[in-house]
Amino acid sequence: LAPLTQPWRSPGEPQAPFSLPAPRWPVECEVIPETIEHIEWVPPKPEPFCPPMGLEQALYTLGEEQGTVVYHSSPALQGSCFTRARVGGAPGPLSSPAAPLEGPQDTTLLFESRFESGNLQKAIKVGPYEYVLMLRPDLYTAKHTQWFYFRVQNTRQEPLYRFTIANMAKSKSLYGQGLQPLLYSQQDAQSCGIGWRRVGTDVRYYRGSAGESPLFRLSWTMRFPHDGDTCFFAAGYPYTYSDLGRYLRALAADPARSRYCTVRALCRSLAGNTVPLLTVTGPGGTAGKRAVVLSARVHPGESGGSWAMRGFLDFLLSPHEDAQLLRRLFVFKVVPMLNPDGVVVGNSRCSLAGRDPNRAYGKALPGSFPGVWHLWAMVQRELVEREVVLYCDFHGHSRKNNVFMYGCDGGRDGTGTRLRQRVLPLMLSKNAPDKFSFSSCKFQVQKSKEGTGRVSMWRLGVSHSYTLEVAFSGSTLGGRNSHFSVEDLESLGRLLCDTLLDFCDPAPAKFQQCLVEADVLLQQRMRREPGSGGSWSEVSPSALES
C-alpha cells in the first residue's frame, strides 16, 4: 500500500504516458463484460425542477409480497469485511439475476446493474408497468442507500411506468423539492446525439417503513422514448473510475497540456486500484511557490464533484492567460478520485473498509484508508516546504439546493482571521451569482466533523480549508429554479480558478471590500445595524449560524 514511486520530474520534462489499469473489484462482485459508456450532451435550455409533491403526500405502493421478483443481484459477501479483489470481479460464469422473458409479448423490463458504479439490488414487478426497486447498501455495511445507477431493456413507448425505490436512507431529500432522476436512452444517443436528461412526473419522496431505522421511498412516473430501447437511470451524471482513466490518457497524449502536469500514483486502494495525484505548475519548477490542494470523490455517490474537478483541470491546463498566471503563481496538487473502490462498486458513501473515509482523517491507518492517509501525509510534507494557501474538497449535497462551502471558524481567533475565512466563499458567490449561495455557507467546526478532510487540513495548518458542496439538484438563484447540467458543474471549476486569483490578488481592493461586506453581513445576522458599535467577534460560530 506504499505510494507507487516514479522518478520525480518537474512539469515540462518528458514523462512516460500514465494510464490507470483496469478496475479491480472485490471477488464477491459479478461484473458483466460489456463496456458502458455514455455520450456527453448539454440540454439546449436549463431543465426546470418539477413541481414538488411534498413529504406528506405519501403514495400507496404494493410491496414484494404482492409482486414478482424480476431481478435480484446481491454479492455473496464472505464474512463482513473485504478480503481480496481482481480485475473483472468474481471468477467463473455469470449468474442470471433477471427473470427470463416468456415470449415477444412479455412486457417485463430487464434490469441490470453489474457494471462500473452500478447500484440496484432487486426489482419487484407489482403491476403491468409498475416496479418496486431496492438499492444495494454500501458493500460490507447495511446502510447508505442513496446512489442508484442501473440499466433497463425491453421498454415500451406508450405505457406510463411507475418506479418506486423503497429503501432510501435519508429522511429529507431534494427529490421532495423538485429534483428529478436522470434517464439515458441509447436510441436517442445514437440517432439524435441526446444524452442524460431529467425525467419523471409525480415525483414523490416520503416515509416508507417505520421502526428504529425507518426507510424512505422515492417514486416517479415516466414514459420511455422508444419501444425496445436500452435505457439507464441514475441519481447523478455518472463519472466512473474508467472515465477518469480515459481523461488522464487524453491528458498524457496532449503535448501542450502534459507540459504543465505530472501524473503519478499517490497510493493504491484496498482493492489495488490506483489513486492518482496530479501536480500542475508552470515553467521554472516549484521553488518559492505556494501550494493549492484539491480532492474529490471521497464519497463515491457524489459524482458532481468529479465533473466540477474536470472543469477545474480543463481550465487550469488551458492556454487562457488566467490559467498561465495560476500556473506561474502556484503548485497545484490534485487528487481527483480519493475513493476509487467505492466508485467502482457503486457505493454511496463508504470505501471497502465499510466506513466513511471522510471521518477518518488524522486517525486513519494507511492499511485501512490509504487514499485519505496518503493525502494527509502529502499535505504535511508540503507544509514543511511551502505555504498551502488553500485546501478544497469537492462534494455533493442531497438536501440543499445551489453550491455552497463549509469552512473553519474555530471561534477563538481574532476578528480579522474569522472574517478572512469568509472572504473566498463570498468572492465565489460574486463570480457565480446564479449558482453559489453565500448565505448557505457554514463555518463552525463541529466535534462530529473532526475527522473530515476540511477540519483535518485546517488543524494541520492550512489556514483556508473548505468543503465545496454541489447540490444533486441545481440552482434556485438568479431566477433559475433548474437542474445543473454537466456544463454547469464543469463551470464551477473555472469559477473557482477565477476566485483564487481574486483571493490572492496583490492589489488589496477586492479582498478589503469583501472583508467589509462579510463584517456587515455578520452584524446583520446578529440583528445589529452596521456602524452601531456592536461586535459579533465574541460570539461563537454555532451561535452565529443558529
What pLDDT sits at residue 5? 39
Q: What are phi and psi of 191, to 5 degrees?
A: -95, -30
469 annotated active-site: yes
State the pLDDT at residue 66: 78
Question: Which among 243, 208, 236 is positioned nearest to 301, based on CA atoms?
Answer: 236
Tell me the backbone φ, ψ of residue 129, rounded to 5 degrees: -135, 35
d(CA 215, CA 170): 7
Helix 304-316 / helix 486-503 crossing angle, nearest 10 deg? 50
What is the number of H-type helices and E-type strands within the chain? 11, 23
| Block mean pLDDT (10 aa), the chain, length 546 | 41 63 96 96 96 61 76 79 94 91 95 98 96 96 95 98 96 95 98 98 88 86 98 98 97 93 96 98 89 98 98 98 97 98 98 94 84 96 97 97 94 83 97 97 91 95 97 96 98 98 94 94 72 65 74
314 burial (CB, 10 Å; 0-12 / 13-18 / 19+) is: middle
CB 333 within 8 A of CB 457: no
pLDDT for the residue 410: 77
Q: Is the dihedral of CA 520, 526, 527, 530 positive or negative?
A: negative
pLDDT (0 to 100) of residue 530: 52
Nearest CA among 238, 80, 228, 178 for reference residue 399: 178
* Annotated active-site residue in 158, 469, 529, 545: 469
- Taking a C-beta distance cutoff of 8 angstroms, is the pair 444, 409 a contact? yes
Cα 399 to Cα 448: distance, rounded to the nearest angstrom: 19
Q: In a 10 Å sphere around its CB, with 0-12 CB exposed, 13-18 middle and 19+ buried, how is residue 492 labelled?
A: buried
Domains and CATH numbers, the chain: 29-52+61-235 (2.60.40.3120), 241-509 (3.40.630.10)
How confident is the model at residue 208, as a pLDDT? 87
Q: What is the pLDDT, as a whole number, of residue 56? A: 45
